[in-house]
Structure 1
């Protein structure tokens, strides 16, 4: 194998990279894992993705693309599990991952470099463990996504003596937090110690934004030398503009898209619609599914729409596949990104690629890094403030046209290939040096 080609294990325990974003617990992380894996495979690397089997119909392995496979592992019942119940899957997933790695063809088979012995009782020191890594391992590195994955995979990485890299995609709010702007509340007791375990035991933490990197550093005492950032990209061919600019401005159709849960604040989107001038006859599309931990939330939102007198102008469309979401994006007048907290905000990039301006709250983590210069970053969560800002934008034909044009220009500068390059740099920084002749 060429020293420039890597064999990467991407771990995504609690939700499959092939699941539709917005359905149950699938979201932006699923898109990021899948698209950055596709981009790495296009650049010649081999990527083995691993997830938990959530249906008996799922096969052992799916060939997703050339040099890209997804493996389903048995860990707990072969059915969907709420995130609050997912800890039960961590240990069986680790055992299955260990067995599946043993069955993979080693990344290199150079008899001059036999596998170094490495016990489960390793020192736990990332630098020491990586130094013992052998070129005759099944993969060159393990990149875990979300804390469930990291807690399952980090011990296996130590046993194999290969680097472990961790991405969070969402960082739990500290214990005792009273508002959602500190992040997603821990869904189970193991989350906070689990996040700390993988932060301090991994060779590198790869954040999706500098805001997320800063949060990890502050909450889990991770030094700058073990932090890297690889911002998500966007598929600018899938997410593309609509030509009817006038119709979008004069007949407002607002879009909210995310999992329907309090952290994402779809209730604020309803309030914004209710505070708009009725003469606009604006509509709101609420796209997204409900996870098991918030099974009654959709009913609450429908009831709130009735209370506000806007139920006839709200379309609850459920979770959408990528093509259907792209259609909604390009037809929308504006995207309402009302989340209390976001490590990045991938939907903002997708909306802008569709030439759809974005409105977002300034305190929502990495959102500033996902929104271009003409996006509306609001200082307040008062729906009156949002409604007034939107009406002012729509009333100014030239300003709206500029926002539409600059949105697309900003988004297309962010590609998944650029994300893959950033990941390659991070990966090679933690890999043991290879002699030029290794194969």
Structure 2
């Protein structure tokens, strides 16, 4: 426990640490916020996580785990709203935080904002209450616009807001080298403001399980080559690319593709239009018999899916970071990933898995066939993957880096306040 316990305010306007994962708007950011808050508390920090109130059955403040509170801020109607539609409620979110801070009498040493709308709130709080802030964008509007074009539903002012935040933030946390480069190239972020700190995985949640045991527990065929796609059901994740790749295999029937994720535990195209689109693609390519859509699974179940697979596949068009490859590697499973964003940082081609071009089902199929035909190589890749994530990507390692940055910002801010106080005393004398 730290002697002077720093008090940190997380802002994560749309990604609550309490959310059920797997939906359109719930994924890596929710995991990041939840895990870093928990691990920071274990290191002696107090953390309040501010998130938009969208469930009226929940109280405003929840003592979640020792050292961490989740504070629901009313910003717009208390209901689920797509993250693309909540920017207009950020002034109310800001005022809600100011009112909470005043009512509670708390003095936060630092705000860590997550995503650009939270960054907007943090910048306003810095102006109102003089609290320094760092930000992890988790995704950048310029990059999203390049890859999604007119399908990007965020308001156009997002880009200007992000540029303003870059100027006002005390530090910017990039999740990988590509993220750092994008911040510098598209936002003119000064290099001295950027610190690269990756995402992580929990070794309490994800660890190796014998493949036979995992497959038996899930009722899977022990003799099939099983490949796994797991994550949010949105087009940019490239699940359609994995489905199409099956038609390029010499013997598709020797492979079973598990697709884990969605809005519900039982796959329902009515609730998830993307699921319906994927099922249609599978039928068009004649590979529907090789695929099992499992629906959303609990965190407790995921390790069995990772461990049951010969290969985990993640081939998005772009990926700011991508936590699922880490989770797969933590279970000793090699990863084939797109050569983009954070994936090309976490997956070492030829050592922990393979990198392929995005949106290239033929190249993906060739790599799948190459790997599943060599059981000994798969085993070595899995062992290397396990070593890599445990050496570089545990949440403990991640929060060590965050804590070092926080302490630096807090020390500089306290020094500045003391100097200002000293000047005021001299002036008054």
Choose the corresponding residue for 2:311, options 334, 351, 371.
334
The answer to whether the 8 A contact 2:7-2:108 is kept is yes
1:400 alignment partner, SS class: helix
| Residue 334 of structure 2 corresponds to residue 357 of structure 1 | yes
| Residue 265 of structure 2 corresponds to residue 289 of structure 1 | no
- Return the alpha-carbon distance in structure 1 between the equivalents of residues 307 and 322 of structure 2: 17
**Greater helix percent: which structure?**
2
Deviation at 1:39, TM superposition (A): 0.7
Choose the corresponding residue for 1:347, options 324, 328, 331.
324
2:247 alignment partner, SS class: helix
Deviation at 1:245, TM superposition (A): 6.7
How does 1:47-86 map onto structure 2 within 5 Å? 47-86=47-86
The answer to whether the 8 A contact 1:172-1:185 is kept is no
5+ residue gaps, structure 2, are 216-220, 265-270, 419-429
Deviation at 1:149, TM superposition (A): 0.9
- Return the alpha-carbon distance in structure 2 between the equivalents of residues 208 and 176 of structure 1: 19
Distance 1:20 1:183, change over 3 A: farther
Q: 1:139 maps to what in 2?
A: 108
Deviations 1:87-123 (A, max 9, x none): 12211111111111112343xxxxxxxxxxxxxxxxx
Q: 2:44 maps to what in 1?
A: 44
Choose the corresponding residue for 2:301, options 300, 324, 327.
324
Q: 2:137 maps to what in 1?
A: 168
2:120 alignment partner, SS class: helix
Deviation at 1:35, TM superposition (A): 0.5
How does 1:91-110 map onto structure 2 within 5 Å? 91-106=91-106
- Return the alpha-carbon distance in structure 2 between the equivalents of residues 312 and 175 of structure 1: 34
Q: 2:30 maps to what in 1?
A: 30
Structure 1 length normalisation: TM-score? 0.85
| Residue 395 of structure 2 corresponds to residue 422 of structure 1 | no
How does 1:236-315 map onto structure 2 within 5 Å? 236-244=203-211, 250-278=223-251, 280-289=253-262, 296-315=273-292
- Runs of 4+, deviation exceeding 6 Å: 245-249
Q: 1:406 maps to what in 2?
A: 384
Deviation at 1:250, TM superposition (A): 4.6
1:57 alignment partner, SS class: coil
| Residue 185 of structure 2 corresponds to residue 218 of structure 1 | yes
Deviation at 1:3, TM superposition (A): 6.1
The answer to whether the 8 A contact 1:142-1:162 is kept is yes
Q: 1:209 maps to what in 2?
A: 176
- Return the alpha-carbon distance in structure 1 between the equivalents of residues 141 and 227 of structure 2: 29
1:412 alignment partner, SS class: helix
Question: What value does the CA root-mean-square deviation take over the aligned residues?
Answer: 2.6
User: Could you tell which deviates more after superposition, 151-160 or 375-384?
Assistant: 375-384
The answer to whether the 8 A contact 2:145-2:152 is kept is no
2:86 alignment partner, SS class: helix
Q: 1:368 maps to what in 2?
A: 344
5+ residue gaps, structure 1, are 107-137
Deviation at 1:174, TM superposition (A): 5.2
- Return the alpha-carbon distance in structure 1 between the equivalents of residues 342 and 394 of structure 2: 17
- Return the alpha-carbon distance in structure 1 between the equivalents of residues 303 and 85 of structure 2: 32
Q: 1:190 maps to what in 2?
A: 157
Deviation at 1:79, TM superposition (A): 1.0
Structure 2 length normalisation: TM-score? 0.87
1:431 alignment partner, SS class: helix
The answer to whether the 8 A contact 1:184-1:263 is kept is no
1:344 alignment partner, SS class: coil
Deviations 1:372-427 (A, max 9, x none): 43310114642122111111111112211111211111122221111111011211
RCO (CA 8 Å, sep 6+): is it higher in 1 or 2?
A: 1
Distance 1:320 1:155, change over 3 A: same
Deviation at 1:331, TM superposition (A): 1.1
The answer to whether the 8 A contact 2:166-2:172 is kept is yes
Q: 1:133 maps to what in 2?
A: none
The answer to whether the 8 A contact 1:61-1:69 is kept is yes
